[in-house]
Amino acid sequence: MTRVSPKLPPWKRLLRQLGAGRARDVDGLRRARAEAERANRAKSRFLAMTSHEIRTPLNGIVGMGKLLADTELTPEQQNYVDAITVSSEALLTLVNDLMDFARFEAGDMELHPQRSAIAPLVGGVVEMLCERAYAKGIDLGYGLAADLPASAVFDPGRLRQVLTNIIGNAVKFTDKGGVAVTVGYADNALVIRVRDTGPGIAAADQERIFGEFEQAANGIDRSHEGIGLGLAIARGIVIAAGGTIDLESEVGAGTSFTIRFPVEGAQAARASHGALTAERFVILSPNGVEAELLRSALAEAGTAVAVHADKAEAIAACRDATGEATLMIDNRIADGAGTFLHDAERPARMIALIEARDRGSVGAAFKDAGHAFLTRPIRPATLMRIVAGDDEARAASPAAGAVAREAVAGLKVLVAEDNPVNALLAVRMLEKLGHRVTHVETGAAAVDAVRDSRAVAPFDIVLMDLHMPVMDGVEAISAVRRHEDEAGLDPVPILALTADVLPETRLAVVNAGADGVLTKPLSPEEFNARIARLNGKTSEGCSSVI
């Protein structure tokens, strides 16, 4: 305690006393603040520890669900296993969000910048979310500015997390119309806009929803899952990267988020196509969001484009004095794109816009009839390759089956299987047959392995388990085929590995682009028989293997 000297004049004594009081206040405040900080750290530690402890058994449940899904199940049991998987994965997402939040609270939001490709990252997030969007009947598509760098230095995992959250929200809250994602580059930053035609966010809520545990409807309307952490985490990441998130919205008119995410060392993309100035396109689509993205990508490449929702109008628009336009037909029009193949008035050149699951049916029919198809969400690079009619490269190169034909004894095999016992069995068996085997544990790793092997020594065959973490087998098969479409490469033979012999599973994998199905446990006889059948056909006649 500060002692006041009696010799001091009264005004000085008063000042001393005031000063001492203030010092006591400041001291008290400091102590209280230190106490609050300690309590906050303890809370964050508690959150981080419990989240971690919850995550461990939860991973066990997810993993066991996957193993169970790999066994022979009746359709009823399959439904129950699917429910376990969906619920446990939702819980895992929640716990991961809580962990992130706790880390964030503790001031531990570290970024790990590395050189990363931009288009595949954005495309990957959109493709991951498209199933949910398409199942709801809404559009989801993306467009890339012509001057977007091919790669730059940034934290790809954190940017993916931000995009998954913002685009995921847009899909979650939009019930009509759809979601358009566009990516540009300005002032050393990626500028990503996510626009939706959803319910919009009231002005009063627009700042608040970025707060922790905040939701626009104040959590009263629980029709949508989520606890209100996503935007807080997304904003934290973007701020840590030195960027901004802006929001424009009007109730009833949709929402638009603009993310500025700074990057370094941007490397320009190679121009992948020439100008298409002589071309004309007519897009027939029942929904405007994806059609508009397509229109602007084609218009930017210098073509004339018209969009119609009516079949007769679209056919009429294809013919004008300058000749016939290429007709792009969204398979969601009444009766589907397939009806055009037999229409007397069909244009000479047509491109079907399909979902991955229609690849083996509508897609194959268009290709067989000398037309083309594009899988939604449409990758900008594939769009340019297909509209430029650049399919000759593939036609001129040897069929994929030829590789296997020459090397039946020592094939280069990729096994994608997450269950260690099944993986060990498959790898040992294949090695005993004299093949060289590479093993990966996720669908995403399989896609990377196939892509990376292209330039060096491509795989002769890929065996793909269907239930894997990160990316399941059907998605991985679609992703490999998309990459091949985009780059104009020969399709690598892919056989799906499954214990499930349901016809719908077979149909799903074939439609995703697999060449056949092998049942588990893998037997040498069945593997050899499949290889022999693959060798007896050309790469285009894939479905005959089934």
Q: What residues line the site for ligand ADP (CB under 6 A)?
A: 165, 169-170, 173, 196, 198-199, 201, 209, 215-217, 226-232, 255
Amino acid at 451: R
Nearest CA among 488, 497, 267 for reference residue 385:
488
Torsions phi, psi for 250 (to 5 deg): -140, 135
Closest CB to ligand ADP among 169 and 375? Answer: 169
Nearest CA among 258, 121, 124 for reference residue 193:
258
Q: How many CA atoms lie within 13 A of 229 on its CB side?
A: 16
Residue matched to tokens 């000759």: 392
Closest CB to ligand ADP among 230 and 363? Answer: 230
Beta bridge partners of 496: 464, 517
Closest CB to ligand ADP among 254 and 401? Answer: 254
Cis omega (within 30 of 0) for bond into 377: yes
Closest CB to ligand ADP among 92 and 507? Answer: 92
Give the shortest CB-199-to-ligand ADP separation in angstroms: 5
278, with CB counted inside 10 A (0-12, 13-18, 19+), is: exposed
Beta bridge partners of 181: 142, 194
d(CA 151, CA 537): 39
Closest CB to ligand ADP among 211 and 398? Answer: 211
Give the shortest CB-86-to-ligand ADP separation in angstroms: 17
Give the shortest CB-210-to-ligand ADP separation in angstroms: 7
Nearest CA among 111, 85, 114, 117 for reference residue 183:
117
Beta sheet of 326-330, edge-to-edge order: 304-308, 280-284, 326-330, 350-354, 372-375
Which CA distances in Å does 65 have to 58, 92, 119, 402? 11, 13, 33, 39
Give the shortest CB-172-to-ligand ADP separation in angstroms: 6
Closest CB to ligand ADP among 151 and 255? Answer: 255
Closest CB to ligand ADP among 163 and 517? Answer: 163
Give the shortest CB-244-to-ligand ADP separation in angstroms: 17
| DSSP H/E element including 182 | strand 178-186
Give the shortest CB-218-to-ligand ADP separation in angstroms: 9
> In this structure, what token pair is assigned to residue 47?
């959150």
d(CA 49, CA 106): 13
Closest CB to ligand ADP among 214 and 526? Answer: 214
Closest CB to ligand ADP among 65 and 230? Answer: 230
Residue matched to tokens 């973007």: 238
Residue nearest ligand ADP (C-beta atom)? 226
Instruction: Find the Cα–Cα–Cα–Cα dihedral 157, 181, 118, 146, rounded to 10°.
Output: -170
Give the shortest CB-179-to-ligand ADP separation in angstroms: 8
d(CA 34, CA 330): 62
Are 43 and 50 spatial neighbours (Cβ–Cβ below 8 Å)? no
Closest CB to ligand ADP among 201 and 386? Answer: 201
Give the shortest CB-119-to-ligand ADP separation in angstroms: 23
> In this structure, what token pair is assigned to residue 432?
């005993």
Give the shortest CB-500-to-ligand ADP separation in angstroms: 33
Give the shortest CB-57-to-ligand ADP separation in angstroms: 23
